[in-house]
Amino acid sequence: GQQLNQSPQSMFIQEGEDVSMNCTSSSIFNTWLWYKQDPGEGPVLLIALYKAGELTSNGRLTAQFGITRKDSFLNISASIPSDVGIYFCAGHSSNTGKLIFGQGTTLQVKP
């Protein structure tokens, strides 16, 4: 079945550093979504991407929909302590109608 490989699994960085994480799949997706989950909370949608090659920003966050439609990247610039949490990618295929989530990237920021 469809699977998403998200990497890295975890990151421990210094405040102010830039962060990059990605998701790859052997399948094509029509939509890529990036979520952040704080401890004890539900995921919150950060960015949605709808077209191959699309680059979208939300404040210090930038995400890209890969040209092959099989991958997506999320970058966080100038990280701050409140960026701590788990980041999930999700891909939606209009063929299967399914929404598949990556395993998550746990981000820790050292002040």
Radius of gyration of the chain (CA): 13
Q: Measured from the CB atom, is 39 or 111 closer to other proteins?
A: 39
Binding status of residue 39 toward other proteins by CB under 8 A: no
Binding to other proteins, residues 70-89 (CB under 8 A): 88
To the nearest whole angstrom, how small is the minimum distance from the Cβ of residue 48 to other proteins? Answer: 6
Binding to other proteins, residues 7-26 (CB under 8 A): none
Using the rule CB under 8 A, which residue among 11, 61, 100, 109 binds other proteins? 100
Using the rule CB under 8 A, which residue among 41, 59, 82, 111 binds other proteins? 41
What is the β-pairing status of strands 105-110 and 10-14? parallel
Find the farthest-apart pair of alpha carbons in the chain and give their distance in angstroms, rounded: 44
Ranges assigned E (strand) in the chain: 5-7, 10-14, 19-24, 31-37, 44-49, 55-58, 61-65, 71-76, 85-92, 99-101, 105-110
Binding status of residue 66 toward other proteins by CB under 8 A: no
Structure tokens at 39: 């401890």
**Which residues form the interface with other proteins (CB under 8 A)?**
30-31, 33, 40-45, 48, 50, 88, 92, 97-104
